[in-house]
Each structure stands twice: as C-alpha cells, then as structure tokens.
A and B are shown apart, each in its own frame.
Chain A
Amino acid sequence: MPFSRRDLIRTGVAAGAAVSIPSVLRAQTAPSAARTARTVIGSGDLRVFDPIYTAATITNHHGAAIYDTLFSPDSKFMPQPQMVEKWRVSDDKKTYTFELRDGLGWYDGAPITAAGCVASIRRWGQVDSGGQLNLERTKDISRKDDKTFAIALKEPLGLLIDILASPLSSCPYMMREKDARLPPTEQVTANIGSGPFKFNEPLAKPGVSFAYDRNEKYVPRKEPSDGLAGAKIVNVDRFIWENIADEQTAFAALQAGEIDFLGAPPVDFYSVIEGDPSLNLQILDKTGSEVYARLNFLQKPFDNVKARQAMLHLIDQEAFVRVMAPNPRCGRTVTVFGSDTLYSNDENTGWYSKGGDPEKARQLFKEAGYTGEKIVILQPTNIAFLNHASQLLAAELRKIGVNAELAPSDWGGVVTRRANTGPIENGGWNIFITSGSGYSQGDTVGNVFFPANGDKAWVGWPKSDEFEALRIKWADVDALEARKGLARKMQNVWWDFVGSVMLGQTFWPIARRKNLTGLIGMPSIIPMWNMQKV
C-alpha cells in the first residue's frame, strides 16, 4: 500500500495527540495556577522527612507543614497553646497537665490521642537539648485519658512550656504513636501528620519537587494568626516546593512567573528585584542572622584567653558585614543573645570599637605567647557569605602578623573536619565561621552555641565553669525579668572568657511575586499557611 506524505502528517498528528492525552487529563485534576503556590524555599533539597531524625532546616520546614505542635511562639516569641486546649501546673510546679483540643485528627482518619503526644515527647527528648533537659528532670510522662496527658517532674522546670514551643530544629512535632515509638536514629517515613498541609506522596519527585495539599480536615484555632501561634488558615490548595539548585535560574524563574517565592535570592540581584514592579523583597526573620567565629579551645593559640580576646578586638564588624551581606539593615552585634531578642543587652561590651582595634589585638596575641604557629581557618567555598568572611578574617590576621591559613573545601568537608579535636598536623583546625538565627540566640538551652562544658560542648569546645553554672540556672527561671537579669550575668562572663566571636548581624530577605501575600515573618520556619495568591 502506498504511503503518501498526507498519510505521514495525519499519522504524526494522531500520535502527538495520543501522547499528549495524559497531560490533558493531569491538568484537569490539578488545582488551578491561582490556587497553587510554587516556591523555592532555599534551604537545600529535602532528603530526610523526619524532623526528629535530622536537625536540617529544610526538614524543619517540612515538619511545620505536615505536623502540629503542642505550643507555638507568637510574634513576640511568647509561647501560646496550639494543639493544647488548656493546661495547668500544680502548686509545687512539678506536674503539668495538658488537654488536647477537640477535632484533632491524623490524615489517615484516626483521632489524635494523648498516647501519641507522650511517645512524641519521649522520642524528641532523646535528640533535642531542650528535650533532653526535660527528660532529665522528668519522673514520668503519662496518658490520663484519650485527650489528656501529664508530665511529672522530679524538680520544677520553669522553661518547660518555652521548650515545648520552640520552633527551632529539632522541634517537638507530634506524631502518631506508632511512628513516635521508633528510635530517633530510625527515620519515620510515613509522613502522616495532623498539620495544616498533607504531604502529596504520589507527586513527590526527590531532588526535583515536593507537593503539599491543603488538609481539609484541619481545624484551626479560633484566635487570629499571630506569629506561629493562632489560627493556621490555608488559602491555597497546593504548595509545590521546587528544588532549583542554580541561583541564577531560580531567580529567572521568579522573574518569568514560574515560581512565586524565592527563599534566598543572591545579594547581587537585590537591585534588580527592587526595580521590578512585579517583585518584592521582604525580610521575614526580623531577628536576622548572627554570624560568629568558633575558636578551638583545645589547640594553641586559642587555648589561651588572651588570644581569644585578641580576636574580639581584631574584628571590624562593619567590614565583615559589607563582604557578607551588603544590606543597609545589617549591622553590628555585641550581644550573645541575638541583637533583637527578649534577652539582648549591653553588658560587658566595652571591647567593641568601630573599625576594630588591630594594635590591641596584636598586643594580646603577644601576651598570649603566640610565636607564629599556623592558624587554620575552615573555608566553606560553596557558601558565599561564609567563604567571604573566612577570606577577610585570614587577611585581617595576616595584617597583624598572624600566620593564618585557609583550609578550603565544600560544606560537607567543613562539617567533617570541624569535628576533629586533634592538632593541626592531624587535620585539626583553629577557626570555624558559621551563623544562626538571631532568635535562636535567645535559647540558651536548645542552641548549641551556648554550652561551655568543654568536650561536651559543640565544636570549638569552649569551657567556662562559671558560665555553665549560670546557664544551668536558666531552665529554672520562669519570670521574664529574672531571665533578663540572668542573661546580663551570663553575657558578662561570656565576653571575659570569649566563648565565640561575633562578626555581625545579617538579614537575608526573601523575594516574592507581589501577588503572593500574607507571609508570616518568623525565625527558623517559613510557614505556608496564611499565604495567598491574589
């Protein structure tokens, strides 16, 4: 049979139509573009789904979407009930009783019971430092009835409600009892929570995108939304997290309207965003990010307090802020409790001088007995602002005659090397620069920055018995004013023994299309509820 050109065209069109049918069908079942928000969160790729198994920021965002918490901080960072309807504490302050709200349920249809909360608190308590403190003080956590459970303490813990409300990773998310019974070193992969969003498993494309659908069964609180507390109202049908690894491409996608939200636009695009009438820059975390250098207390020269004090005087914070985040809102930071938290204060900050004091630093290094030994600075080359800060610090040290050497590697390499407690010749290090949410600086129990108990402390292994004695008291103080007083005393000691050196406060705005509104500005978590497309 002859096959004409017309037959060929007909066959081609028919084949094309046939192959296109699935996309047509898919389009009919997906929510409209106006009811779908596409975002690039900007904290890397979501690889682990269990927010207790890992403390990764991206997993904490995931946890906030699909799980709920007993308490949440409001916009003033005060804890407010979330899943809890009411709670009371006994007169001796040793027994806390919690009653859950009506109507709470898991996605799989089962009602939320107190047993799940008891198991969740126990699991979380094994990994989070606040949770560990809670478990240390706890005599028993018990279910009273389906909606009620109690925490009985061996001794009062004034910080208990604050710890339960902490949005920092690892956050105490409530999970099903069968999930929460797994050891924390084993991942929960079910993704069945009770939060305002449901994880859409069939649409999950690891490394590419994840979808979250509105949880129709979610019952919001009656109070208005306030920070992470109050009503969690979902205004879109679906949220899609895109993983666009390349910053330039992610920004181009935002410009073209292919995404609505970009978590961390590159600094050099700020002026382009401000000049684009369809885009907006917005700072969500009003407490900013505090950048600091950890000094290795176990190795020379920073085993000597004079050398650590020298670093305080060397740093020109304005210069560091300029190379890290050239944003006019960024500034100096002289408090260990974050520049904008409830406990920020100016105790013992006489060391600060605008522009730094290199001569004083040189003198202090000399007094520390520094004789030109190599000082290794870990340099994460794939994180721009930390990379720049490391280079500037090396240059500043060299200017005063210190033999500074950069140890470049990607973040993965830095994370491994920073755990090395050995001397330089065995792969050790002297200085490691990192950052944390300003809000987390107000959390002396949960933030790894604070412990100064030597080899039990976080990398750098700072040691000050005096500071530790004060830090341990923190958990027992429940009045805000009393905690503020304690914060001053702690800071006084901190700047004497120099647990870490602050490099400045930075703000990292998000970029969004102007039709995406209702974003909640809180530290640590980017809440997907409340947002809407107009």
Chain B
Amino acid sequence: MGAYILHRLGWTVIVMVMVGIFVFLLLRLAPGDPAAILAGDSATQQMIEGIREKLGFNDPLPVQFVHWATGILRGDFGASIFTGRPVLELISQRLEPTISLTTLTMIVSVTIGVSFGVCAAWQSGGLIDRFLSAFATLGFSVPVFVVGYFLIYLFAIKAQWLPVQGYESVGHGIGPWLLRLILPTVALSIPYIAFIARIARASMLEVLSEDYMRTAAAKGASSYSMLFHHALKNAGVPILTVIGLSFTSLIGGVVITETVFNIPGVGRLVVDAINNRDYPIIQGMLILISGLYVIVNLLVDLAYTLVDPRIRY
C-alpha cells in the first residue's frame, strides 16, 4: 500500500509539471496583454511599454519560464500582476469560502443522494422511484444559475428570510456563516443529489437482485439490515467513484455558484484573473487544482479498500 501511494504521489508531481508547462505556454499564446489592462483604457503606448518592461514581459519566454519555475521550486508562486500580493496569500484568502461551500454541498448531496437512491431502489417502480426520476431529470437539466436566481428571488427578495449574497467567515460565527451558505448550497447540491441518487439506485438495484440478498430475506433479515448492512456496502464502490467524480467536478462547477451568490472563493479568483490576464494567479491556481484532482482520485481509490476488502494495492 505504501509503495502504491508513493508511486501515485510521484505521478502527481509529473502531472503538475506538465500542467505547469502547458498553462504557461497557453497563457502566453492567448491574446491579451496584462500591461495594457493594468494601464487603463486611455493609457498611452508609452505608459503600457513602461509597465511591460517593469513586469518583465519583454524578457524572452524561456527566461520568464525559468524565473517562474525556480520560484515555484522555492515555494514562491509569484505575485499578482495587479495587486502585487503573493499568489499563495491570495489563494489562501479565498480557500475558506470554497472549502465551506464544497464541503457543505458534498455533505448535503451524499446524505440526501444516497438515502434517496437507496429508498428508490427499495421501492423500485413506486412513488419515491418515480419522484426520483422526475427530480433527476430536472436536477440535470436546469442550470445552477437559474436555480440560484430563483432561490434568491423566492427566499431573499420576496420572503426576506435569507441574504442575497456574500460570505461570512466561520470565525465570525457559525450562524452568519451558515445563513449565507444555505442558498448557494441548495442551488449547487441539486444536480449532485440527482447524480448520486441515480447511481446509488442503479447499484442498489443490481445488488438487491443478487442471490445472497434473497438468502438474507429468507433467513428473516429486517429491511434495514438488508438495505444498509448487506446491500449498501456491496453497492459502495460505484457510489464512491461517483462521489469522487462529483467532488472533482464540484471544484470547477463552484465558479458559477460563487459568481451568482457573490462568494469570494477561488472560483471567482480564477475568473477575475483570466479576465485580467493575471498570469501568476492563473498558473498557481491551475497547478494547485490539478494536484487536488490527482489527490482526490488517490483518496477515492484508497477508500475502495474500506468498502471492499477484496481490493488490494
């Protein structure tokens, strides 16, 4: 197991190096000049040239790359072209809202999604199952931003129960923190609940039709015991895979929710950085996200061994 983990972590480093080279070149080839954006709309060409020189954009590409790459090896991801603040500091400031939103969304999605899927499989063809089908269709087809605006209109403007936008740090109290995360969490959870519920239902249906389930029923096992002790554990691997996939796609999907609910997370940081061609932030974020993807996949692979003892690395 230890060798396997080390092997996978080694691959993580290789993936991050490749992402780094790719992102660096892609950004330089894409149209857009941060110096021109920084100087402002009515800036003279002389002003723009002065800023470009100062920022080192007139250096040859290999020189710029080596400068950036050696910085990363020292743990220095550079500084924002615009604010001058270190990239890692900016990212760390934005991590808490994103982690809060994704964690709450995963808790809600997994809890409701798995329960929903199990119940639908248990009552296959029944009311719950049909409701799940309708909910899943809706959950997949209605975009998150539409759900978000709808929730804002209903609960923030009309009912005035919840705030429209913004984020409160958990350090300012759990109440305000939770209050501002309810609507974005609900909006973001819906497609994931639908996704996880559909997969959980399908896996459970497959397991429930196995011979050993019939045997358990013949031996007088209760419905609870059959569903949660016998079936769910055996249906766990595909469900875990889906949860892992959901988590990684959530990191990308959170951008829209953060924009709609004005949550200052890493998603918005990246979007703003792309609009402004703030290269160091984009590069730093993409390297960190790629690393996170690989690590989450590794954790999911390791979690398989918990639900299925036959799996060994």
Interface of A with B (CB < 8 Å)?
16, 19-24, 26, 45, 47-48, 54-57, 59, 127, 129, 169, 184-187, 189, 205-208, 242, 244-246, 248-250, 252-253, 255-256, 258, 382, 409-413, 415-417, 419, 434, 436, 447-448, 458
Contact = CB atoms under 8 A, between A and B. Distances in A.
B152 A22 contact: no
Contacts of B85: 206
B164 A249 contact: yes
Q: Do most interface residues of chain B lie in helix, strand or loop, or is the interface mixed?
A: helix
Given A245-B262, A252-B153, A416-B32, A57 B40 contact: yes
Interface stretch (B42-50, B122-130, B292-300, B304-312): B42-50
Contact of B259 (A189, A246, A256, A258): A246
Counting chain A CB atoms within 10 Å of each CB, which of B54, B166, B269, B277 scores highest? B166
A410 B168 CA distance: 31
A55 to B, nearest CB: 3
B93 A205 contact: yes
B264 A409 contact: no
B258 to A, nearest CB: 9
Interface string B198-229: 00000000000000000000000000000000
B54 A186 contact: yes
Nearest to B148: A249
A419 B41 CA distance: 12
Contacts of B268: 207, 245
Nearest to A19: B174
Interface of B: 31-33, 36-45, 47-48, 50-51, 53-54, 80, 82-85, 90, 93-94, 149, 152-153, 156-157, 160, 163-166, 168, 170-176, 259-262, 264, 268-269, 271-272, 275-277
B39 A54 contact: yes
Nearest to B82: A47
B238 to A, nearest CB: 34
A127 B173 contact: no
19 contacts: A16-B174, A20-B175, A22-B172, A26-B172, A47-B83, A54-B38, A205-B93, A206-B83, A207-B272, A244-B165, A245-B272, A249-B152, A249-B261, A252-B156, A410-B32, A412-B37, A413-B31, A415-B32, A417-B31
Contact of A415 (B37, B53, B176): B37
Contact of A434 (B41, B43, B80, B272): B41
Contact of B164 (A187, A258, A417, A458): A258
B174 A246 contact: no
Given A248-B149, A252-B153, A256-B157, A19 B170 contact: yes
B166 A415 contact: no
Counting chain A CB atoms within 10 Å of each CB, which of B39, B93, B173, B272 scores highest? B173
B264 to A, nearest CB: 4
A20 B174 contact: yes
The 3 closest A-B pairs by CB, nearest first: A55-B40, A20-B173, A47-B82
A419 B160 contact: no
Contacts of A244: 165, 262
A385 B44 CA distance: 24
Given A23-B173, A206-B85, A409-B31, A55 B43 contact: yes
Contact of B82 (A19, A48, A412, A419): A48
A253 B160 CA distance: 11
A189 B45 CA distance: 23
A397 to B, nearest CB: 23
Contacts of B41: 55-57, 415, 434
A249 B42 contact: no
